[in-house]
Amino acid sequence: MQGIEEKRLIRFDWAAKHILRDKSNFDILEGFLAALLEKDITIINLLESESNREDETDKFNRVDLLTVDDKGEYIIIEIQNEREVHYLERLLYGTSKLIVENLKVGESYKKIKKVISVSILYFTLGEKVDDYVYYGNTEFRGIHTKNPLILRRKEKKTIKTIETKETKDIYPEYYLIEVEKFKDVIQSDLDEWIYFLKNEKIRDDFKSKNIKKVKEKLDILKMSKDEKRRYERYLTNLAIEIDIIEGAREEGMEEGIEKGIEKGIEKGIEKGIEKGIEKGIEKGRKETARNMIKFGMRIEDIAKITDLTINEVEKVKEEE
C-alpha cells in the first residue's frame, strides 16, 4: 500500500553540487550507493567534481561527485539532464583518466584502484529501452565453454594463501539509471531511491537505508531566502536550457553538425543552432512552463518568466 506522498524536496542534481559535498551529508550518498551496489558503503572522502579536466582544451569529463569508499575504490556519480553525443565514450574516457591519474609513476599495477561509474540520466540513452537500470562490466569468458576466467594469484607472505578474482573485479563497472523510464512501481530499495530521483519526493512507506534522512536534509523549506532564490533560478535556467536544446534538435541541429563536420564548413553548425534556438524561444514557452511545473515552481513565477498568462499556465498544468 502506498503511503502519503510528502512535499517536493530539493532535486538530487542541485544537492550534489551544493549540499551532499558536506561530510555530514555523506549518509545520503551512502544510502543510495548501498541500495544500488547491494553492499554497505562508507565514504571516507569526496574529491573535487570537475578536477578531471586539466585545461580548457582537454576533453570534458564533468563529474558531479567523485567518492572514495572504505575499500579505497573510486565511485563516480554523475547526473546528466540532457543527451550528450558519444556519452558512453566519454564515460570510458572518464574512468580511464581517473585510473591513470591516480597511479603514481613507477608504482606497481596492483595499486590500480577499482572504479565504479554511476550515471543518473534524465533522458533515454538507447533506442529500445525496456529497463530503467543498466549494468556493464568487462568480463573474459571462454569461447567454447562460456565460463568466466577466474584469476589465481599466490599471496607473497604465505604460499598457502591463494587469492582468486574475476576479471570484472578489476575493470571499471558502469551503472546507467534512466530515471524517466521508471514507472513508479517500488520493488526494491533501489526503486525507492529512483522514485526520489524522478519525483523529488519520499513516500511514508519507504524503508531503505538512510532514505528518511533525505526528507530531513533536502527540505526546500529549510533553505534560506538566498539559497531558495538561487535554487529557483537554477530550475528556471535548466528548464529553458532543455527547451532550447530540444528546439535546436527539431530544426536539424544534429544534421547541421554532421554536414558541417563532413564538409568542414562551420556555417552549417551555426545555422542549425541559430534556427533551433529561434524556434525553441518562439514556440517553447508552453514546454518551458510544463518543465517548471514539474520542478514545483509557482504558477505566478512561471507566468512572469515565460510571458504566458496565469490562465495559460494553469491550462498547461491541467494537461499534465
Could you report the per-residue pLDDT of 76-104, keeping only the tens digit for each?
888 887 777 788 998 999 899 889 988 88
- Determine what percent of the chain is predicted with pLDDT higher than 70: 74
Q: Tell whether the model's pLDDT for residue 176 goes beyond 90.
A: yes
Question: Which amino acid is it at 16?
Answer: A
pLDDT at 151: 79
pLDDT at 275: 61
The set of long-range contacts for 212-219, using a CB threshold of 8 Å and a minimum separation of 24, is 213/27, 213/28, 213/31, 214/9, 214/28, 214/31, 215/6, 215/9, 217/19, 217/25, 217/28, 218/9, 218/10, 218/15, 218/19, 218/28, 219/7, 219/9, 219/10
pLDDT at 243: 66
Q: Are strands 173-178 and 115-121 parallel, antiparallel or unpaired?
A: parallel
Q: Give the alpha-carbon dihedral of 238, 240, 245, 246, to 10 degrees.
A: 110
Alpha-carbon distance values, 21 to 17, 28, 137, 234, 239 (Å)? 7, 10, 28, 18, 24
pLDDT at 126: 76
pLDDT band at 115 (very low <50, low <70, confident <90, very high): very high
pTM: 0.70
- Distance CA(75)–CA(115), nearest Å, equals 6
What number is the average pLDDT over the span 25-36?
94
pLDDT band at 264 (very low <50, low <70, confident <90, very high): low
- Determine what percent of the chain is predicted with pLDDT higher than 90: 29
What are the φ/ψ torsions at residue 5 (nearest 5 degrees)? -75, 135
pLDDT band at 50 (very low <50, low <70, confident <90, very high): very low
Q: Tell whether the model's pLDDT for residue 55 goes beyond 90.
A: no
Q: Tell whether the model's pLDDT for residue 110 goes beyond 80.
A: yes
pLDDT at 64: 64
- Distance CA(277)–CA(73), nearest Å, equals 42
Are the C-beta atoms of 79 and 176 separated by less than 8 Å?
no
Which residue would you say has higher pLDDT here, 61 or 263?
263
Could you report the per-residue pLDDT of 216-231, keeping only the tens digit for each?
999 988 888 898 888 8
Q: Compute how many other C-beta atoms are within 10 angstroms of the C-beta atom of residue 20.
A: 25
pLDDT at 118: 94
pLDDT at 208: 96
Alpha-carbon distance values, 313 to 71, 235, 250, 279, 296 (Å)? 51, 17, 23, 20, 13
Q: Tell whether the model's pLDDT for residue 194 goes beyond 70.
A: yes
- Give one DSSP letter per residue of 54-92, joined into a string: -STTSPP---SEEEEETTS-EEEEEEESS--TTHHHHHH
Helices (H), 135-181: none
pLDDT at 189: 97
Q: Tell whether the model's pLDDT for residue 59 goes beyond 70.
A: no
Burial classification of residue 78, based on how many CB atoms lie within 10 Å of its CB (0-12 exposed, 13-18 middle, 19 or more buried) = buried
- Distance CA(120)–CA(90), nearest Å, equals 15
Q: Tell whether the model's pLDDT for residue 263 goes beyond 70.
A: no
pLDDT at 171: 92
What region does 210 belong to: left with phi over 0, alpha with psi -120 to 50, or beta?
left
pLDDT band at 52 (very low <50, low <70, confident <90, very high): very low
pLDDT band at 199 (very low <50, low <70, confident <90, very high): very high
Mean pLDDT for the chain overall: 78
pLDDT at 212: 94
pLDDT at 46: 78
Which residue would you say has higher pLDDT here, 303 or 273?
303
pLDDT band at 279 (very low <50, low <70, confident <90, very high): low
What number is the average pLDDT over the span 148-170?
63
